[in-house]
């Protein structure tokens, strides 16, 4: 090949390398694809965030239910304050406590005990726990516990649950949550 032609060819190749890059269409397609992926992933991520916050409410209600059962087995009544239960957790003080995600209220007497976890964020579900001391069919003392979860998210506290002869019942708009 002639030296002139060879020089022009090398000059052309060098210029081609300098001009290489992405076209505007390629960049737009890439941005659109990223946008679609974010639109799909963001709601899932936000839902997982709410679920992780709700686990706090479930955990505390379940812990208080179990502690109330142990407390009542040793005494003549259920605890009326968080300090009586000696939970060693974020729930301390009198009959109410607050965390970042929930407000908790405890109540108890000689035969029943309740705990409510009212959500402080409208994206979270509330929780309700109850214990009932009763005499079973063999006329032995037994304690029944139940944990309930709100059917819809919101900051409205649950209404009162009912107590039948052998088990507490969930308040209206709440459903039995078997993980107690």
Per-residue pLDDT of the chain (180 residues; tens, 9 = 90+): 677 777 777 777 776 555 567 888 999 999 999 999 989 988 888 778 888 899 999 999 999 999 999 999 888 899 999 888 887 767 777 888 888 999 999 998 989 999 999 999 998 999 999 999 988 888 888 888 999 999 999 888 888 788 887 888 888 888 888 764
The number of helices, as runs of H, and strands, as runs of E, in the chain is 3, 6
* Residues 6 or more apart whose Cβ sits within 8 Å of residue 14: none
pLDDT of residue 17: 57
C-alpha 169/C-alpha 176 separation (Å) is 8
Nearest to 60 by CA among 112, 27, 97: 97
pLDDT in the model for residue 19? 56
Rounded Cα distance between 169 and 130, Å, is: 8
Strands 127-135 and 102-108: unpaired
- Output the pLDDT for position 180: 47
Q: Give the per-residue pLDDT at 129.
A: 92
Sequence spans of domains, the chain = 56-176
pLDDT of the residue at 177: 83
Residue 19: Cβ within 10 Å count: 7
């Amino acid at each position: 090949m002639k030296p002139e032609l060879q020089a022009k060819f090398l000059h052309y190749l060098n210029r081609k390398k300098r001009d290489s890059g992405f076209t505007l269409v390629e960049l737009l397609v890439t941005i659109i694809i990223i946008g679609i992926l974010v639109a799909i992933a963001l709601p899932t991520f936000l839902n997982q965030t709410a679920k992780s916050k709700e686990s706090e409410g479930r955990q505390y209600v379940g812990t208080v239910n179990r502690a109330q059962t142990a407390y009542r087995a040793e005494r003549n009544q259920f605890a009326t304050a968080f300090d009586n239960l000696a939970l060693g957790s974020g729930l301390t003080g009198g009959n109410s406590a607050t965390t970042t995600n929930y407000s908790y209220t405890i109540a108890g007497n000689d035969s029943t005990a309740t705990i409510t976890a009212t959500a402080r964020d409208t994206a979270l579900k509330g929780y309700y726990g109850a214990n009932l001391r009763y005499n079973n069919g063999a006329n032995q003392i037994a304690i029944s516990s139940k944990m309930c979860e709100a059917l819809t998210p919101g900051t409205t506290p649950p209404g009162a649950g009912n107590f039948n002869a052998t088990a507490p019942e969930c308040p209206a708009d709440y459903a039995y949550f078997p993980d107690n």
